[in-house]
């Protein structure tokens, strides 16, 4: 009679696979605050601006970039906004909310357009703003009390004007993508928790 094919079964093992947890925890959020001079503010400040360098501070913060890696950036804000700004970016860091880059606007020659086109998150810039009624006045950025976060993903929209123009694909807010400000999302909530209002509302 033909023999029945034998099936070889490995002997049971007593070794239980163990998943080794990461040896290093994510780096903790860090921040540092330093005074600034007119020379350090460069093209972002000039005589006649509504606040002087002595009223501003440089706030270094850690943040998560779009590749999920921790980075360090710097914002210039009003001295009385430092605590709120640190709290906002701590919340964003803990939530792993992605930010493209954070640099003072002087890195872009004081050009708001160039800073936005680079998707740069920034604070102080001595510039004016035009209201919907056409009246020109100092922008909140000129006081160091406003921050643009991921301006490409969160462009400024007034009628048919989109700034930066490269942010036009992100005007469809129903299609939520990383780095966007959405109601109930980490970015809007982080600012609200510190008493700031998201300007896009």
**Are the CB atoms for 115 and 181 separated by under 8 Å?**
no
| Percent of residues in the chain assigned helix, strand, coil, to nearest 5 | 25, 20, 50
- Give pLDDT tens digits along the chain (201 positions): 444 434 333 444 444 444 444 445 568 999 999 999 999 999 999 999 999 999 999 999 999 999 999 999 999 999 999 999 999 999 999 999 999 999 999 999 999 999 999 999 999 999 998 666 777 899 999 999 999 999 999 999 988 899 999 999 999 988 999 999 999 999 999 999 999 987 654
127 vs 135: CA distance, rounded Å: 14
Spatial distance between the Cα atoms of 22 and 39, rounded to a whole number of angstroms: 44
| pTM reported for the whole predicted model | 0.83
Exposure of 182 in the CB half-sphere (CA atoms within 13 A): 13
CB 163 within 8 Å of CB 155: yes
- CA–CA dist 88, 179 (Å, integer): 15
Tokens of 95: 């939530």
Question: CA 82 → CA 137, 142, 162, 186, distances in Å?
Answer: 24, 15, 30, 19
> Do residues 190 and 85 lie in contact, with contact meaning Cβ atoms separated by under 8 Å?
no
């Amino acid at each position: 009679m033909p023999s029945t094919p034998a099936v070889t079964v490995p002997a049971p093992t007593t070794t239980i696979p163990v998943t080794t947890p990461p040896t290093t925890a994510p780096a903790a959020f860090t921040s540092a605050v330093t005074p600034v001079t007119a020379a350090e503010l460069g093209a972002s400040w000039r005589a006649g601006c509504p606040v002087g360098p002595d009223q501003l501070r440089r706030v270094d913060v850690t943040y998560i970039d779009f590749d999920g890696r921790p980075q360090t950036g710097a914002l210039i804000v009003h001295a009385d906004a430092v605590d709120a700004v640190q709290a906002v970016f701590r919340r964003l860091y803990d939530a792993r909310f992605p930010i493209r880059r954070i640099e003072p606007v002087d890195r872009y020659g004081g050009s708001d357009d160039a800073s936005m086109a680079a998707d740069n998150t920034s604070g102080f810039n001595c510039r004016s703003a035009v209201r919907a009624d056409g009246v020109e006045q100092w922008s909140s950025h000129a006081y160091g009390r406003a921050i643009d976060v991921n301006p490409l993903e969160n462009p400024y929209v007034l009628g048919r004007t989109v700034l930066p123009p490269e942010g036009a694909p992100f005007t469809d807010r129903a299609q939520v993508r990383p780095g966007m400000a959405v109601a109930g999302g980490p970015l809007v909530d982080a600012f609200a928790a510190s008493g700031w209002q998201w300007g896009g509302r």
